[in-house]
Amino acid sequence: MSPSPFKPAWWLRNRHAQTLWPTLGRRRIRLHLRRERLRLPDGDFLDLDWTRGNAGPGTPLVVVFHGLMGSIESPYARGILRQIQRCGWRGVFIHFRSCSGEPNRKDRFYHSGDTGDMAFVVESIKQREPDAQVAAIGYSLGGNALLKWLGETGSENALAAAVAVSVPFDLQSVADTIHRGFSRTYEKHLIDKLSASVRAKIRSGSHVMPVTENELRTLKTFWEFDEAITAPLHQFKDARDYYVTCSARQFLPDIRRPSLILHALDDPFMTPNVLPESHELSESTQMEVSERGGHVGFVHGAFPWSAKYWLEDRIPQYLGAFLNTAPNDTRSQQMPPASKRCKGG
């Protein structure tokens, strides 16, 4: 565990400003993407968005997992995919069930500890391209699930390296913290989006939900939502069982793949006490902690009109130590190492 070199923009030193700026102040990044629908063993599906470019088969591939109610429209998603392309790699953004703009087919959704779909995606990619190196990035909820999966599988997974950002290591503590002060704004926003997904399923008449539409309106906190919906839909006893079972912190000692965790002490979704101590990290894990940065923020730069997004520098820099350009890529003889050519913006 080490201090992060990140220094926040002087005009964004508040944790809420850091968290909200990428959503409210960043221009939408245009990307040329190809969508694939991946069929799941239980009959459901996941939608995957692939970057397009000159990188051919065998070129390193970076898989991106989003946070709660995230999608390809999340600013961090488009930002990191652009950087992945600049590094000469391929990127694929994974939408969890129901997050791609179309409701999933099963009653269940996804949750913070849902590693089954994650494993299926990575295994499917490796079956198609056994010679390609694969790395993964997880943000927030996606980071929690990624670290949990890495701990569950140890060295029995196909990843060359992984990065997790703004991870809610202790779900119970996060559910308590996000219900206090201004952070309740984030809770309301997320609960409203979650409820909209549940409401759509109720109104479709083709799903069996554990609540009625009237009961859904009464759910205002994560504790209430997870007790009434997440737990019964995903076979947990209750919200507490879900939180205890799925929190990533307990899985950290068993991680065996090179992994980087990036976190800010002022994350408004959680308090610093959720962070693991050094002895809880495996020898394969590096954790960098900054004083500021908010939740998936980490914005720097001299002025608002020239804001820079530090995660898009640091993540490729780390992965570049483990990913090589494809042997059959003619550009590999002309391009510098990834750590030198992957520039943020």
> Which of 47, 117, 266, 267 does the annotation list as catalytic?
267
- Output phi, psi for 136, to 5 deg: -140, 150
- Output phi, psi for 261, to 5 deg: -115, 125
Tokens representing 16? 């809420």
Tokens representing 237? 């006893």
> Which of 74, 100, 140, 195 does the annotation list as catalytic?
140
Instruction: For the beta carbon of residue 204, count every other beta carbon within 10 angstroms.
Output: 10
C-alpha 62/C-alpha 91 separation (Å) is 5
Burial class (CB in 10 A: 0-12, 13-18, 19+), 6: buried
- The β-bridge partners of 283 are none
267 counts as catalytic: yes
> Which of 234, 263, 295, 300 does the annotation list as catalytic?
295
176 counts as catalytic: no
Q: Which amino acid is at 241?
A: D
Please name which of 23, 22, 123, 105 lies closest in space to residue 63, comparing C-alpha atoms: 123
Tokens representing 98? 């129901």
170 counts as catalytic: no
CB-based contact 132:60 (threshold 8 Å): yes
Angle at alpha carbon of residue 232, lines to 229 and 237, rounded to 5°? 120
C-alpha 3/C-alpha 6 separation (Å) is 9
Spatial neighbors of 276 by CB under 8 A, at least 6 apart, are 169, 249, 252, 287
User: Catalytic amino acids?
Assistant: 140, 267, 295
